Chain A
Amino acid sequence: LQSDSKQEIVIRANSNTADLDSNTTTFLGNVVVTQGSIKLTANKLVGIRHKPGEEEMIATGNPATFYQMMDDGKPVEAKAKKIRYLKKNNQIILSQNASLKQLDSNYTAETITYNIDTRQIEGQKGENQTRTVFLPAQVDSKKSSKSSDKSIDKSTNKAAQ
């Protein structure tokens, strides 16, 4: 959901270790991350806080999973050995047998980069690095709401800096 990025992030796990100097916390065992409708599960998660609001999370699992409900009521589901969630530009990067399901179509690639705001998907096919960009048709139809969303994001980013 659009409101997800403004929600608090809650991480549950069996145990964790916080590293004082590097603002990093490593969570181990049954890791579940929730933020609004976003849900991420993994065996291990390294949370790095570069700046408040600019958290980065590296989740690894067999597989690690990602789920988010979109505003149009259709969920996005993704799986990969490694999922990196960059809150700053609201992006998730799936690597090692990554797959992403959205609007009843499924993408698999070595690495998939998914932008949560624009719902743009970039897939890289491993060594030969072909880049296939899938822009769901629905995004064009919501042009008007999209532009208003864009302005909101810019203002919140500015405030976040």
Chain B
Amino acid sequence: MKKLNIWLSVLFIVSLAAWQFFKRSETPIAERDPSEAYFIANEVKGAVFTQTGQIDYRLFATQMHYYQQDLKTIFTKPVLLLFRNEDKTQWQITGDDGILFDQHTFELSNNVTITNLTHDQHINLITTDKLTLDLIKNEIHSDDLVTLYGDQMQQKGTGLFGQLSGKTISLLNQVTATYLNEKP
């Protein structure tokens, strides 16, 4: 009887080892590097709607990289078309680069332009190098040098705060405004 027990226990140990051996050698599934873009899109044309179904903004970009890990989307040559002020004012905001954080903070940098598509208003173009757009509060902020252009008028200053839904745009310090005087 003893021999049988020995044989059984040897057999058991061998099979256990074999099982362990084969399990380990399975090829591990390639984990996706989370820092890589989750998806990349080219020639992007998008529209985002408010809860009440109105169009909130249209978005165009030559390229878009979405990073799921930190909920960040990087755009190349983004163009945003915003409908604000009960649609009285339409703003077109462009830049060389843009990053959308947590779905509502849009940071644009390099050659940022903000064009007021409603032409009868005081300010029709704003240029700066860096701008942060809060899509929920409808505010624009910048700490850089900003230039506002209007009809025969130009205003320069550092630091900008604007309410796109309200109707005021403020330059925060060292302001120089020039009202040209050419006879129309």
Residues of A participating in the B interface, judged by any CB pair closer than 8 Å? 6-25, 27, 47, 49, 52-53, 55, 156, 159-160
Closest to A18 in B: B169
Selected from A27, A53, A55, the residue in CB contact (under 8 A) with B183 is A53
Question: What is the minimal beta-carbon distance from A54 to any residue of chain B, in angstroms?
Answer: 11
Residues from chain B with Cβ under 8 Å of A7 in the complex: 181
Q: Point out the residues of chain B lying under 8 angstroms from A156, CB to CB.
A: 183
Q: Are B167 and A52 in contact (CB under 8 A)?
A: no
Per the bound structure, the CA–CA distance linking A9 and B180 in Å amounts to 7
CA A15 to CA B123, docked complex, whole Å:
16
A7-B181, A8-B178, A160-B183 are known contacts. Are A20 and B169 too (CB-CB below 8 A)?
yes
Which residues of the other chain, A, contact B177 by a CB distance below 8 angstroms?
10-13, 16, 25, 27, 47
How distant is the Cα of A10 from the Cα of B155 in the complex, in angstroms?
A: 9
**In the complex, A53→B155 CA distance in Å?**
17
- Chain B at the A interface: mostly helix, strand, loop or mixed? strand
B152–A25 CB distance below 8 A: no
| Pairs A–B under 8 Å by Cβ, sample size 21 | A6-B181, A7-B181, A8-B180, A13-B177, A15-B157, A15-B170, A15-B171, A16-B170, A17-B169, A19-B167, A20-B116, A20-B121, A20-B122, A20-B168, A21-B122, A23-B122, A24-B122, A25-B177, A49-B151, A53-B183, A53-B184
Chain A residues in 8 Å Cβ range of B173: 14-15
Q: How far is the CB of B142 from chain A (nearest CB, A)?
A: 14
Interface centre among A20, A21, A23 (most CB of B within 10 A): A20
Chain B interface size, under 10 / 10 to 19 / 20 to 34 / 35 or more: 20 to 34
Q: Does B133 count as interface, using CB distance less than 8 angstroms? A: no
B14 at the interface (CB under 8 A from A): no
A55: which B residues are within 8 A, CB to CB?
179
A160 CA / B181 CA spacing, docked (Å): 10
Docked CA distance A19–B170 (Å): 9
Query: Chain A interface mostly helix, strand, loop or mixed?
Result: strand
B110 interface hit (Cβ, 8 Å):
no
CB-contacts of B10-49 with A (<8 A)? none
Residue among A14, A159, A160 with max Cβ neighbours from chain B (10 Å): A14
Task: Determine if B148 is an interface residue (Cβ-Cβ < 8 Å).
Answer: yes
CB within 8 A of A16: which of B155, B167, B181?
Answer: B155
- Could you tell me the distance in whole angstroms from the C-beta of A104 to the nearest C-beta in chain B? 31
Within the complex, what minimum Cβ distance (angstroms) separates B83 from chain A? Answer: 15
B176 near A10 (CB under 8 angstroms)?
yes
A47 to B155: give the CA distance in the assembly, Å: 13
A103 to B85, CA, bound (A): 52
